[in-house]
Amino acid sequence: MAQLWGGRFTKETDQLVYNFNASINFDKKFYRQDMEGSMAHVKMLAAAGILTEEEKDTILAGIEGILRDVENGSLVITEEYEDIHSFVEATLIDRIGDAGKKLHTGRSRNDQVALDMKLYSRDELTAIRSELKSLILTCHDLMKKHIHTAMPGFTHLQKAQPLTLAHHIGAYMEMFKRDYGRLNDIYERMNYCPLGSGALAGTTYPLDREMTAELLGFYGPTLNSMDSVSDRDYVIELLSALSIIMMHLSRFCEEIILWNSNEYRFLEIDDAYSTGSSIMPQKKNPDIAELVRGKTGRVYGALTSMLTTMKGLPLAYNKDMQEDKELTFDAYDTVKGCLALFNGMLKTITFHPEIMENSAKNGFTNATDAADYLVNHGVPFRDAHGIVGRLVLYCLEKNISLDEMPLEEYRAISPAFQEDIYEAISLKTCIEKRNTIGAPGPEAMEKVIAINEKWIKDNM
Ligand code: ARG
């Protein structure tokens, strides 16, 4: 048991208590951020005249050595320390002697851990944002490629109206752009430095909080020391943004799983991203898409857990907050992994445009356009809706599509129909005439793709 406290205690900590209390097993994940924070703190202490230049240099060299040795594997972070903060301080004192005992001047583990968690979360946010960027670029490429790839659009999972693959992927593009924006918003709000807040009430040392904030890349210091040590809002915000990202990936996965099935065959997932069955030799399963969909649950779990942990905590620091780490770290890793795998899978998918197009051609996806045709020929929309409903019923009985129905039959149901009905309800017309911004028509899609191109330049 290696602890930073113990002076006022007369008994050894019970071993079970020690194990229950210790966080080294998981807070070792931010060893680098912990040491970066300590180095900034030491530089500031020297600039404020609290440490001598010599002490500063000795401590900095000591911490750099520890960091190097941990990274090259020659120094192992073991469970004999209570947490990462104790490990670094004890190792430092071990290596450089008394100067190391001054590291914690004007600091508490409360502002230290608040800083470490924020630095780590900021790094993870940045890493997740760059995975998201790659995915956005993949969607952008696919959109450019598939402006003319027709497919059915669905509501209630029933064929509704024809659109294009570019348009369908464009829907996810919008979701991912919003996700990207959410991460940026969170970054802007969270990027203030809690270091120097002490245990809860600041310190009596003349700490230069602006300086440490600047050294660590923050916009400035946080403004209330109690809030600083007990704020985990940014973790909750980040977990909710990550939950939304997972929800989007999960919806996309669900469609890929459906479209990859024998019933749809709109696409085929690459062999490198599929798995086989131990018993059925013919099988090629979309396990990656299913796993991404499945892992959404654990990210939601992290969000729910964090909200619940923070609920009802009195100010300022409480040990409950140590529970902010394990599930949050797991969520960060999960989202990073899922984004990378999903992007790899999407990039290597083979689409089957002929099958998609054929699917768009049946199922009466042009029924709305037939009704619109009547409206353009003077029939009120509600009547047109009823007329086309009867046409569809007729076609269903004869097992034909609207395109195959003879003109006499059309005219028997409504004399408003003329020879040009066939052109009006052709797949090409149905898609190409829909050119209001946001619609699947190629002119509209070109405009949106140009807007996205600019968005990518301006934002990423
Ligand atoms: N391991 C603790 C945590 O993660 C560090 C802060 C400890 N502070 C304290 N007052 N016990 O929250």
Q: Which residues of 264-286 are buried (b: 16+ CB within 10 A; e: fewer)?
A: eebbbbeeebbeeeeeeeeeeeb
Q: What is the structure's pLDDT at 284? A: 84
- The residue contributing the CA closest to ligand 1 atom 10 is 110
3-state secondary structure at position 375: helix
Instruction: Fill in the DSSP letter of residue 275.
Output: B
Looking at every residue in the chain, the average pLDDT score rounds to 96
Q: Is the pLDDT score of 5 beyond 80?
A: no
CA nearest ligand 1 atom 4, residue: 322
Work out the pLDDT band at 60, boundaries 50, 70, 90: very high
Residue nearest to atom 12 of ligand 1 (CA): 322
Q: Which of 10-19, 58-67, 105-114, 224-233 has the lowest mean pLDDT?
A: 10-19
User: pLDDT at residue 397 above 70?
Assistant: yes
297 Cα to the center of ligand 1, angstroms: 28
Please state whether the predicted TM-score (pTM) of the whole model is above 0.85.
yes
Q: What is the pLDDT of residues 204-239, one digit of tens each?
A: 999 999 999 999 999 999 999 999 999 999 999 999
Distance from C-alpha of 287 to C-alpha of 284, rounded to nearest angstrom: 9
**pLDDT (0 to 100) of residue 99:** 97
Indicate whether 187 pLDDT > 90. Answer: yes
Structural fold of domain 110-205+222-358? Fumarase C; Chain A, domain 2 (1.20.200)
Establish whether residue 120 lines the binding site of ligand 1, counting it when its CB lies within 6 angstroms of any ligand atom. Answer: no
> Catalytic: 156?
yes
**Distance from Cα 228 to the centre of ligand 1, integer Å:** 14
Does residue 242 carry a pLDDT above 80? yes
- Is the minimum distance from the CB of 322 to ligand 1 under 6 angstroms? yes
CA of 21 to the centre of ligand 1 (A): 9
Band of the pLDDT at 260, cuts 50, 70, 90?
Answer: very high
Asked if residue 108 has its Cβ within 6 Å of ligand 1, the reply is: no
Number of Cβ atoms within 10 Å of the Cβ of 336: 17
Q: What is the pLDDT confidence band of residue 1, given thresholds at 50, 70 and 90?
A: low
Does the CB atom of residue 113 touch ligand 1 within 6 A? yes
pLDDT in the model for residue 276: 84
Superfamily of domain 362-459: Fumarase/aspartase (C-terminal domain) (1.10.40.30)
pLDDT band of 189, cuts 50, 70, 90: very high
- Top-level class of domain 15-105: mainly alpha
| Domain 15-105 identical in fold to domain 362-459 | no
Which two structure tokens, joined as six digits, stand for 140? 């952008």
Cβ(23) to ligand 1 under 6 A? yes
Rounded to an integer, the average pLDDT of 416-435 is 95
Cα 83 to middle of ligand 1, angstroms:
8
**Ligand 1 within 6 A of CB of 81:** no
Q: How many residues does the chain have?
A: 460
Residue 351 phi/psi, 5° resolution? Answer: -90, 150
pLDDT at 400: 95
The full set of domain ranges for the chain reads 15-105, 110-205+222-358, 362-459
| Average pLDDT for 48-52 | 98
Residue 281 confidence (pLDDT): 83
Which position among 23, 230, 277, 385 bears the catalytic label? 277
Asked whether residue 9 carries a pLDDT value surpassing 90, the answer given is no
CA of 328 to the centre of ligand 1 (A): 16
Residues 6+ apart with CB under 8 A from 434: 163, 440, 441, 444
pLDDT, mean of residues 393-418: 95
pLDDT tens figures, 119-130: 999 999 999 999
For the Cβ of 401 lying below 6 angstroms from any atom of ligand 1, the answer is: no
Q: Please report the pLDDT score of residue 8 as a whole number.
A: 82
- pLDDT tens for 266-313 read 999 999 999 888 888 888 899 999 999 999 999 999 999 999 999 999
Rg of the chain on CA atoms, in Å:
31
Best mutation site among 110, 230, 232 for ligand 1 pocket (most ligand atoms within 8 Å of CB)? 110
- Do β-strands 192-193 and 158-164 pair in parallel, antiparallel, or remain unpaired? unpaired
Best of 232, 319, 326 for a ligand 1 pocket test (most atoms within 8 Å of beta carbon):
319
Kindly report, residue by residue over 346-388, the tens digit of the pLDDT. Answer: 999 999 999 999 999 989 999 999 999 999 999 999 999 999 9
State residue 450's pLDDT score: 98
Is residue 454 very low, low, confident or very high in pLDDT (cuts 50, 70, 90)? very high
Residue 28: CB within 6 Å of ligand 1?
Answer: no
What's the pLDDT at 2? 66
